[in-house]
Amino acid sequence: MERLYQKMARAPVVGLALVLSVVAFVAFAYFDQARPPGTPGVVALQLAFSTEAFRNILIQWGTSGVQAYRVSTLSVDSWFPIAYALLFASLIAVLTYQPDKAVSKSHLALFGLPFFAMLLDWMENALHLILLRDPSHLSPSLVLIASLAAAIKWGIIAFSILVVLYFFAQRIRARLVRRGT
C-alpha cells in the first residue's frame, strides 16, 4: 500500500479520476430519468435497511425505473467506485506526501479508506443485483447487509472529503505563513 501511495503522490491520477467521476454522474442522471418524478432516489434504496422500505421504493420506481437501476449498476456503478477511490486516494496522497519523510501510518490509513469504500460499494451493488432477481422474495438479511455496506461507504466518502478539505486547508495555510515571513 505504501508503494501505491508514493506512486500516486508523484504521478497523481486526480484529473483522470475527476473526469471519470463527472462522466459517471452524467450517466447516473441519464438513468435516473427512468424513475418517476417525485419517487425516492437511489440513495434511499441503498439505505432502505428493511425489506418493506426496499420493496416500497421498487414499487414506486416501477418496471422501467428498476430496469434502469439494474443497467446503471451493471454499466456505470461497476467502474465508478474505482474512479472515486482513485480520486480521493490520489488527493490524499498528493496533499500528505513529503518526499523527505517516511510515510506516516495515519496518512497511509487515510489513503486506504477510499479503496475500502470501493469494496463496500461493489458488495452493495452485488447484493442489490441479487435482490432484484426476485423482488417479491426479498431477503431481510441481504437488504440489511447491503444497507450497512452503503451506510459505511457513504460515511467513508464523507470522511474522505473532509480529510481532503482539511489537508488542502493546511497546505493553503502553510503557503500563507511562508509568504508572510
Residues 19, 24, 26: CA angle, nearest 5 degrees = 95
Q: Decide: 67 and 136 in contact? Cβ < 8 Å.
A: no
Give the separation between CA 56 and CA 167, rounded to whole angstroms.
41
Which amino acid is located at 48 in the chain? A
Q: What pLDDT score was predicted for residue 9?
A: 85
Q: What is the mean pLDDT of residues 8-35?
A: 92
pLDDT digits (tens, 9 = 90+) for 111-165: 999 999 999 999 999 999 999 999 999 999 999 999 999 999 999 999 999 999 9
Name the pLDDT band for 179 (thresholds 50, 70, 90). confident
User: Could you give the CA distance from residue 113 to residue 12 in angstroms, rounded to a whole number?
Assistant: 17
Provide the 10 A C-beta neighbour count for residue 60.
Answer: 16
The C-alpha torsion from 139 through 42 and 15 to 157, rounded to 10°, is -60
pLDDT over 90 at 102, yes or no: no
CB 118 within 8 A of CB 130: no
Least confident stretch, 8-12, 30-34, 102-106:
8-12
Check pLDDT > 80 for residue 181. no
What cell does 73 get?
A: 449498476
> How does pLDDT run across 30-56, given as a tens digit for each residue?
999 999 999 999 999 999 999 999 999
Confidence (pTM): 0.92
C-alpha cell at 105: 501510518
Task: Give yes or no for a contact between 53 and 146, defined as CB atoms under 8 angstroms apart.
Answer: no
Compute the chain's Rg from CA coordinates.
19
Section 77-83 average pLDDT: 97
In the numeric block, which cell numbers belong to residue 96? Answer: 500528505
Domain ranges of the chain: 2-180
The pLDDT score that the predictor gives to residue 8 is 86
